[in-house]
Amino acid sequence: MKKYVFALLLGSLTHTALLAAPCKLIDPELQANYSGGCVDGLAEGQGKADGIASYEGQFHAGKKHGNGVKRWANGDVYRGDFSADYFHGRGEFVWGDGPAKGLRYVGDYYQDTLEGQGEFYYPWGDTYRGGFKRNQWDGEGEYRWGSGPLAGHRYVGQYREGKREGFGRYYGFGGDVYAGRWEDNKPIDPATPMMLRFYEQVAAVAKLKEGTLICKVGREGYASKPTVQRATVTGKRQDFLELKPADGSAAVLSSGEGWYPCP
């Protein structure tokens, strides 16, 4: 009898140990805690997990698979479809830190890569909607400037490897429209006066480096004495300069028009 009781007790302990055995996850960022379904020692179905990141959603065979939300300590968040631990299908990624803080992508993914149709929303108001290939704008797309000197401008046309390439239309101020071919982000058919001025500015801006002290002559009024504004180039954003005025006022975004390196 004692042997029989001992055997039952041993069997019960073994069964309990099997139930308490950890459920394995493949993602190296989710190795601290897990709660949810488990089949054959692997996470399955709905569950929650954390480690240096956290995830809540669906699993299959120990991998994130189906719909879910993954968060990182720096504030980055991905919401959408997963397949075998990849971002795959339709999803939204929001950058929470660093130079891209506030940037948001909504669109198609293929194995962690932006591929298909999607939209980029920039924190300063610009937007891109269109095709993506291997994480770059590619195919038909539309870019709208939402702030800065070119607020209201837009480009509608073809992209290749992240650049305006092929046929496209650029809509500027006052009804100015360039409709023609593009190569390496530049118009190659006869450009409008507005386009020529813009690309001259872009070429000049591209040569300025961070830390450069630049000047601009201006007037407070029509008959007033000219004044010289000074600012330091602190960075670049798309085709524009980020400037920190020497008078201590708030930083500004500029196309570079009228500015020149201070003597």
At 89, which CATH number?
2.20.110.10
Residue 38 has pLDDT above 90, yes or no: yes
Mean per-residue pLDDT, 202-228: 63
Residues 143 and 239 in one domain: no
Tell me the residue range of the domain where 191 lies: 22-208
Q: For residues 263 and 190, what is the distance between their CA atoms, to the nearest angstrom?
A: 35
Region 86-98: what's the mean pLDDT? 94
Confidence grade of residue 120 (pLDDT, cut at 50, 70, 90): very high
Interval 40-69 mean pLDDT: 97
Same domain, 137 and 215: no
pLDDT greater than 80 at residue 62 = yes
Which 3 state secondary structure label does DSSP give 160?
strand
| Per-residue pLDDT, 227 | 63
Q: What is the pLDDT of residues 137-192, one digit of tens each?
A: 999 999 998 876 678 889 999 999 999 999 999 998 777 888 999 998 888 888 77
**Comparing 190 with 198, which gets the higher pLDDT?**
190
Cβ–Cβ under 8 Å, residues 25 and 32: no
Q: How far apart are CA 211 and CA 232, in angstroms?
A: 6
Domain end position, chosen among 208, 225, 249: 208
- pLDDT of 71 reads 97
Q: What is the pLDDT of residue 2?
A: 41
Q: Which two tokens stand for residue 57?
A: 């959603």
Cα separation, 33 vs 29, in Å, equals 11
Percent of the chain with pLDDT over 70: 79
pLDDT of residue 165: 95
Does residue 239 belong to any structural domain of this protein? yes
Q: Which of the two residues, 52 and 229, has the higher pLDDT score?
A: 52
Q: Does residue 238 have a pLDDT over 80? A: no
Out of 184, 208, 232, a domain closes at: 208
CATH number (domain holding residue 238): 2.30.30
Of 263, 260, 219, 255, nearest to 239 by C-alpha is 255
In a domain, 16, yes or no: no
The upper half-sphere exposure of residue 108, i.e. CA atoms within 13 Å in the direction of its Cβ, equals 13
Band of the pLDDT at 9, cuts 50, 70, 90?
very low
d(C-alpha 161, C-alpha 164), whole Å: 9
